[in-house]
C-alpha cells in the first residue's frame, strides 16, 4: 500500500524535556488525569477538509500546497488515495476520531443520484479503514455552501428547490454518518444568513431554518441514528450576518422552534472571537445552559480579524477552556476537533504533524493545568464566596421566589447602603498565571 508520510513513524510521548519536534512533550494518551486518561478526556479529532483537502488558498491567491495523492488520476481515484493518506495520518498521529463533510470525502458528480453512489463507494472504504485502524467518526456534516446552487443559502434559500436539494443532501449525510457509527452530526450555517436585508425576508428564512432542523430531528429518529445533533455558531463570514450568530442566539433559536432537547452546540474558538466573545465565554454560556456538545479547537489572529482557523497553541486559552470543560462534566459524545489549517507557507506533509502535535500538546497542558486548578479549588472557592450572600437570608428568599419588590424595599430600608467588596481581578489573574 502506498505510504503518503514516509519516514514518519508513530508519534510517541517523550516528555517535556524532549527536543524531538515529532514527539509529544505533554500528550500522553494513557496517562490518567482527574480520573480518566488524557485520550478519554480530550477525544481529539482530525478534520478532513482543512487537513486533507486544504491547499493553502486565500482571498489573494490559490493554493500553494501540493499533495501527492492529488496526482492519483481520476476524481474518484484521488478520493480513494486521499482516504488512504488520511488514515495513515490518523494512525501515525495517534488520534481516535475524525470529522468530514460529505463533499470532502467524495466529489460531487453531475446528478444527486450519481453523487450519492460515489459517497456510498467511499463510505464503504472508510468503514473498513475505521475498523482496521480503530478509528471512530466524531461527527459528520454536509457541505451545503460551496456549490453555486447554495449562493443564497441552503435551508434559508428563497427557492424551495434549493431548500429541497439541501434537505436531500443532509438526509444522505445523516445516513452515511449513521452508517459509519458517527457520534454526532453538525449543522454549521454555511451561507444561512444574508448579504443585504434589501432582498431578504428575515422572518421567513428563520422559520424555514426552524422547519429544516425539525425535519432533521424527525429523520434522525426515523433511521434510528443515535448520535448527537449539534449547531455550530458563527456570526459572520461568508455572509455579512449568519443566523447562528453565537451560543446565546442559537439557544434562543432552538427554544423558539421546539428543538432545545434535540441539539447541543459545537463551539469553535475562532467563531467565538469573531462574535466579539472569548472562547471561554461561549463555553461557559453552553455549560450554564446544559448545551455544550463538542468543540472545534482552533484560534484566530486578532490582527487579521477573519476566520484564520489557526492551530491552537496558547496555553492560557487551553487551560481556561479545559477548566470550563472539566467543570462542565467533560465530553460525552463530543471532543476536540482541530478545525484548523496549516499556513500557506507550510507546504510539506510533515507540517501537518507539527501542527497537530503542537495543538494536542497545548490541550494536554491545558488539561493538566485545569485539573490542578480544580483540585486546589481556589477559583471555585473564590466565586462561591463572592455569591455567598445568595445562600442565606434575603438572597436565598429571592432565589427561592419567596421575596418580591416589597420585601426587598423593606430589606433596603432596614439595612441601608450595601457593603461593597473588591472583584480582585488582578489577584485572580496572577493566580491563574501560577497554573499556566
Active site residue ranges = 101, 104
Alpha-carbon Rg for the chain, nearest whole angstrom, is 24
Q: Which is nearer to ligand XUL, 265 or 362 (CB)?
A: 265
> Within 10 Å of residue 80's Cβ, how many Cβ atoms?
18
Span from 14-22, 167-175, 332-340, 372-380 in contact with Co ion (CB under 5 A)? 332-340
At 320, which helix (H) or strand (E)?
helix 315-327
Closer by beta carbon to ligand XUL, 24 or else 165? 165
The angle at the Cα of 327, spanning 325 to 332, to the nearest 5 degrees, equals: 55
We find the least distance from the C-beta atom of residue 137 to ligand XUL, in angstroms, to be 14
307 binds ligand XUL (CB under 6 A): yes
Site for ligand XUL in 246-275 (CB under 6 A): 268
Footprint of ligand XUL on residues 77-136 (CB under 6 A)?
101
Cα dihedral 18/85/111/223 (nearest 10): -70
Q: Is 234 in the site for ligand XUL (CB under 6 A)?
A: yes
Select the residue interacting with ligand XUL from 115, 141, 239, 318 (CB under 6 A).
141
Note whether 339 binds Co ion by CB under 5 A.
Answer: yes
Query: By C-alpha distance, which of 22, 20, 18 is closest to 7?
Result: 22
234 binds, among Co ion, ligand XUL, none (CB under 5 to 8 A by kind): ligand XUL
Q: Establish whether the linkage from the previous residue to 238 is cis, with ω within 30° of 0.
A: yes
Least separation in angstroms between residue 384's CB and ligand XUL is 36
205 binds, among Co ion, ligand XUL, none (CB under 5 to 8 A by kind): none
The three-point CA angle 350-27-43 to 5° equals 90
Query: Hey, how many other C-beta atoms are within 10 angstroms of the C-beta on 312?
Result: 25
Task: Indicate whether 80 belongs to the interface with Co ion (CB under 5 A).
Answer: no
CB of 48 to Co ion, least distance (A): 12
CB of 113 to Co ion, least distance (A): 29
* Distance in angstroms (rounded) separating the CA atoms of residues 72 and 135: 24
How many residues are there in the chain? 436
Separation CA 354–CA 342 (nearest Å):
9
Q: Is-contact 247 232, C-beta < 8 A?
A: no
By a kind-dependent CB cut-off of 5 to 8 A, residue 355 interacts, out of ligand XUL, Co ion, none, with: none
In the list Co ion, ligand XUL, none, the entry touching 317 (Cβ below 5 to 8 angstroms by class) is none
Q: How many CA atoms lie within 13 A of 425 on its CB side?
A: 0
Distance CA 125, CA 134 (A): 14
Question: How does DSSP assign 362-387, residue by residue?
Answer: HHHHHHHHHHHHHHHTHHHHHHHHHT
Please report how close the Cβ of residue 233 comes to ligand XUL at its closest, in angstroms: 10
Choose between 53 and 220: whose C-beta lies nearer to ligand XUL.
Answer: 53
Work out whether 307 is an interface residue with Co ion (CB under 5 A): no
Pick from 268, 282, 284, 307 the residue near Co ion by CB under 5 A. 268
Rounded Cα distance between 246 and 374, Å, is 27
Shortest distance in whole angstroms from residue 142 CB to ligand XUL: 8
Nearer residue to Co ion within complex by CB, 80 or 268: 268
Binding of ligand XUL by 179 (CB under 6 A): no
Query: Site map for ligand XUL, 326-355, x if CB under 6 A?
Result: -------------x----------------
Residue 80 contacts which entry, ligand XUL, Co ion, none (Cβ below 5-8 A, type-dependent):
none
CA atoms within 13 A on the CB side of 369: 24
Task: Tabulate helix, strand, coil % of the chain (nearest 5).
Answer: 50, 15, 40
Residues of the shown chain interacting with ligand XUL in the complex, contacts defined by CB under 6 A: 49, 101, 141, 186, 188, 232, 234, 268, 296, 307, 339
What does the binding site for Co ion look like in residue numbers (CB under 5 A)? 268, 296, 339
Amino acid at each position: 500500500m502506498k505510504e503518503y508520510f514516509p519516514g514518519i513513524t508513530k508519534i510517541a510521548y517523550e516528555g517535556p524535556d524532549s527536543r524531538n519536534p515529532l514527539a509529544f512533550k505533554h500528550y500522553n494518551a494513557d496517562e490518567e488525569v482527574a480520573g480518566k486518561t488524557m485520550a478519554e478526556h480530550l477525544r481529539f479529532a482530525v478534520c478532513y477538509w482543512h487537513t486533507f483537502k486544504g491547499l493553502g488558498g486565500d482571498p489573494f491567491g490559490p493554493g500553494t500546497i501540493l499533495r501527492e495523492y492529488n496526482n492519483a488520476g481520476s476524481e474518484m481515484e484521488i478520493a480513494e488515495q486521499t482516504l488512504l493518506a488520511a488514515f495513515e495520518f490518523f494512525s501515525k498521529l495517534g488520534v481516535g476520531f475524525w470529522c468530514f463533510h460529505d463533499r470532502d470525502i467524495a466529489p460531487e458528480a453531475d446528478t444527486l443520484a450519481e453523487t450519492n453512489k460515489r459517497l456510498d463507494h467511499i463510505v464503504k472504504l472508510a468503514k473498513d479503514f475505521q475498523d482496521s485502524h480503530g478509528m471512530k467518526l466524531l461527527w459528520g456534516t454536509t457541505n451545503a455552501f460551496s456549490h453555486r446552487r447554495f449562493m443564497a443559502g441552503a435551508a434559508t434559500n428563497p427557492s424551495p428547490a434549493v431548500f429541497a436539494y439541501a434537505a436531500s443532501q443532509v438526509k444522505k449525510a445523516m445516513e452515511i454518518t449513521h452508517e459509519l457509527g458517527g457520534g454526532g452530526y453538525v449543522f454549521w450555517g454555511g451561507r444561512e444568513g444574508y448579504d443585504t436585508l434589501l432582498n431578504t425576508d428575515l422572518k421567513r428564512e428563520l422559520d424555514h431554518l426552524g422547519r429544516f432542523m425539525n425535519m432533521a430531528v424527525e429523520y434522525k429518529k426515523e433511521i434510528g441514528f443515535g448520535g448527537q445533533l449539534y449547531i455550530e455558531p458563527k456570526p459572520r463570514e461568508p455572509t455579512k450576518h449568519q443566523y447562528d450568530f453565537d451560543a446565546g442566539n442559537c439557544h434562543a433559536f432552538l427554544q423558539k422552534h421546539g428543538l432545545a432537547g434535540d441539539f447541543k452546540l459545537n463551539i469553535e474558538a475562532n467563531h467565538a472571537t469573531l462574535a466579539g466573545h472569548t472562547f471561554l465565554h461561549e463555553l461557559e454560556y453552553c455549560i450554564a445552559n446544559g448545551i455544550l456538545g463538542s468543540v472545534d479547537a482552533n484560534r484566530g489572529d486578532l490582527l487579521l480579524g477573519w476566520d484564520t482557523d489557526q492551530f491552537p497553541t496558547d496555553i492560557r486559552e487551553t487551560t481556561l477552556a479545559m477548566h470550563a470543560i472539566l467543570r462542565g462534566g467533560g465530553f460525552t459524545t463530543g471532543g476536540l476537533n482541530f478545525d484548523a489549517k496549516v499556513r500557506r507557507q507550510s507546504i510539506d506533509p510533515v507540517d501537518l504533524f507539527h501542527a497537530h502535535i503542537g495543538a494536542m500538546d497545548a490541550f494536554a497542558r491545558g488539561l493538566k493545568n485545569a485539573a490542578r486548578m480544580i483540585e486546589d479549588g481556589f477559583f471555585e472557592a473564590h466565586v462561591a464566596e463572592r455569591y455567598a450572600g445568595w445562600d442565606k437570608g434575603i438572597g436565598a428568599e429571592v432565589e427561592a421566589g419567596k421575596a418580591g419588590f416589597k420585601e426587598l424595599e423593606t430589606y433596603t430600608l432596614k439595612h441601608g447602603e450595601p457593603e461593597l467588596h473588591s472583584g480582585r481581578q488582578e489577584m485572580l489573574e496572577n493566580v491563574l498565571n501560577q497554573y499556566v
